[in-house]
Copies of this chain bind each other. A is one copy, B any other.
Amino acid sequence: MTLMRNGFAFLLGVAVLGLPALSGCVASGQAAATTSEAAAAAKSYTASRHDELTQQFEEFLAMPNVAADPEGLRWNAAFLSAQLKALGAETALLSAPGLESAPPVVWGELRTPGATRTIVFYAHYDGQPVTPSEWETGKPFTPYLKTVGGEPRVYARGAGDDKAAIFAQMTALEAIAAAHLKLTANLRFVWEGEEEAGSAHLEQILLANRERIGGDIWLVCDGPVDQTRLQSLAFGARGDAHVQITLFGPNHPLHSGHYGNWAPNPAMMLVQLLAGMKDADGHVLIPHFYDGIAPLGPVERKALADAPVNDEMLRQELALGHVDGGGRHLLALLNEPSLNINGIAAGQTGAHSTNSIPSTATVNLDIRLVVGTEGKVEQQRVVDYVRSQGYFITESQPTRDELLAHPKMAQIKLDPVEEAVRTPMDLPIATEVIAAVKSARGRVVLLPTMGGTVPLKAMEAAAKTHTITVPIANHDDNQHAANENLRLQNLWDGAETMAALMAMR
């Protein structure tokens, strides 16, 4: 493994800047920095180095980081491990028996003598798959700058999700070292390489390296901040459960003229099945769907009431003529489970449409979960609903005999579930995290639940600790889509936030 590839060599930041490694620069008798001193150091450090840091970030983004390119992922991992080492950390690439070929977890630790606690920073270095043709430049790994609304952004896969968080953490470490600040906590870094592939091996790898990944709190640095650009902290995340339903018509597509009015159309059956699952406001009508939701406590309810209401701004931004939810706010609605059609397909549309009755129709649904609603239970409620509509359910491709025997037949596939997690906002460590981020950034938006899903359950189970999510990316970063980007101000703000968290006592 080399850090040279495609004729490009990454220049390690600390080497460029001639910085001493962190652990070597703190005089033993010096007073520990406050969180606001650390944040101020990061602000001052980045303010004078925008161009240089932007270039380094672009070089990081130029390393392909998709599951389809395992070599690219190994390159990222080796690079990050070397970076952490250069910053004075003890490092390792964590794996587990039998998982040697999976992208490793990049691990690093900065110990402080006499530390009273350990803070773990989680982020992920892998990105969503790319379809280059959908990108403005056709090149998701050739980063470029563009000014949007007067503010510079850098475009590349991983810019927002989630290399920004890793780069902000590295930058915060450099800033603290450059300012010769003393820390009092041990810091651990856990940077995953399979988050966008569902973190299939994360829990196994964490369990196999349990002594290295524990801490007083896991700070999960992923996701977008509030749409106002205010820093957010999320104390949980919705879970996710998938359901794929396929309905069956004739055993091959039929001429819609010769058979239309007689041969059942699976696309029509599917729309009729799905239509009854929600009302016109987006409220789910599947029986018991909302049963069991763990109610928010008074602290969480107050946080929600204090959060900015961005609904109208978002409605304008997304060109929406109406929104679901019956007038309730987005942030409140994220504390309830949701049901979404991710995709639906039967026959062909547009120029490829033919005059036929399709043979099958398929829908992929995702159910977002909140604490108290279990994934398997919600999946079963969907299955029960389908059955209540007269469908015979099968897991595998139905046989001819089965198709003939049952008026209506649905093949349903249920994927493994990611459960929801919520950390109480009034835990002592939660209160300290909030105070640290406020000392750096002023007003902070506190969310009981982030809408998206993060494998927090696996982290909490393996590390036996709580998680708090500290996102830094702009909400409009085209996460999971083409033209992913990061508003650079979010990187500078993120370095401040990370520095403050590193200085927690």
Contacts and interface: CB of A to CB of B under 8 A. Distances in A.
Interface of A: 223-224, 237-238, 240, 242, 244, 248-265, 267-268, 270-272, 274-278, 280, 282, 311, 315-316, 318-325, 330, 333-334, 336, 338-350, 352-358, 361-364, 366, 368, 400, 403-409, 450-453, 475, 478-481
Given A343-B347, A354-B480, A321 B403 contact: yes
A261 B325 contact: yes
17 contacts: A238-B257, A240-B257, A250-B318, A250-B319, A252-B481, A255-B480, A256-B368, A257-B452, A258-B451, A264-B282, A267-B341, A275-B275, A342-B353, A342-B355, A342-B357, A343-B348, A356-B480
A373 B277 CA distance: 34
A135 B227 CA distance: 51
B271 A344 contact: yes
Contact of A320 (B249, B363, B452): B249
A270 B271 contact: yes
B355 A259 contact: no
The 8 closest A-B pairs by CB, nearest first: A257-B452, A343-B347, A275-B275, A260-B338, A322-B407, A353-B364, A261-B333, A267-B341
B256 A320 contact: no
Nearest to A253: B481
A341 B346 contact: yes
User: Most B CB atoms within 10 A — which of A250, A349, A350?
Assistant: A349
Chain copies in the assembled complex: 2
Given A261-B325, A407-B321, A343 B346 contact: yes
Given A257-B240, A272-B275, A452-B258, A264 B322 contact: yes
Given A264-B324, A268-B274, A344-B345, A404 B316 contact: yes
Given A404-B321, A480-B356, A364 B338 contact: no
Contacts of A242: 353
A263 B320 contact: yes
Nearest to A249: B320
A240 B354 CA distance: 12
Contact of A453 (B257, B276, B324, B406): B257
Contact of A268 (B240, B278, B320, B347): B278
A481 to B, nearest CB: 6
Contacts of A274: 268, 271, 275
Given A342-B353, A344-B344, 17 more contacts: A248-B319, A250-B320, A251-B319, A260-B340, A261-B325, A264-B324, A265-B324, A267-B343, A268-B277, A268-B278, A268-B340, A270-B271, A275-B276, A320-B403, A343-B353, A344-B347, A345-B348
Nearest to A315: B404
Contacts of A400: 319
A244 B364 contact: no
A323 B264 contact: yes
Given A319-B403, A322-B407, A340 B265 contact: yes
User: Most B CB atoms within 10 A — which of A257, A264, A320, A400?
Assistant: A257
Contacts of A342: 256, 347-349, 353-358
A413 to B, nearest CB: 9
B262 A333 contact: yes
Contact of A451 (B255, B270, B405): B255
Contacts of A320: 249-250, 263-264, 403-404
Nearest to A276: B275
A270 B270 CA distance: 11
A265 B321 contact: no
Given A257-B238, A259-B451, A265-B341, A319 B350 contact: no
B358 A347 contact: no
A325 B259 CA distance: 11
Contacts of A271: 270-272, 274-275, 341, 344
A261 B338 contact: yes
A77 B357 CA distance: 32
Given A261-B336, A340-B357, A349 B244 contact: yes
Contacts of A358: 341-343
Contacts of A450: 257-258
A58 to B, nearest CB: 24
A344 B409 CA distance: 19
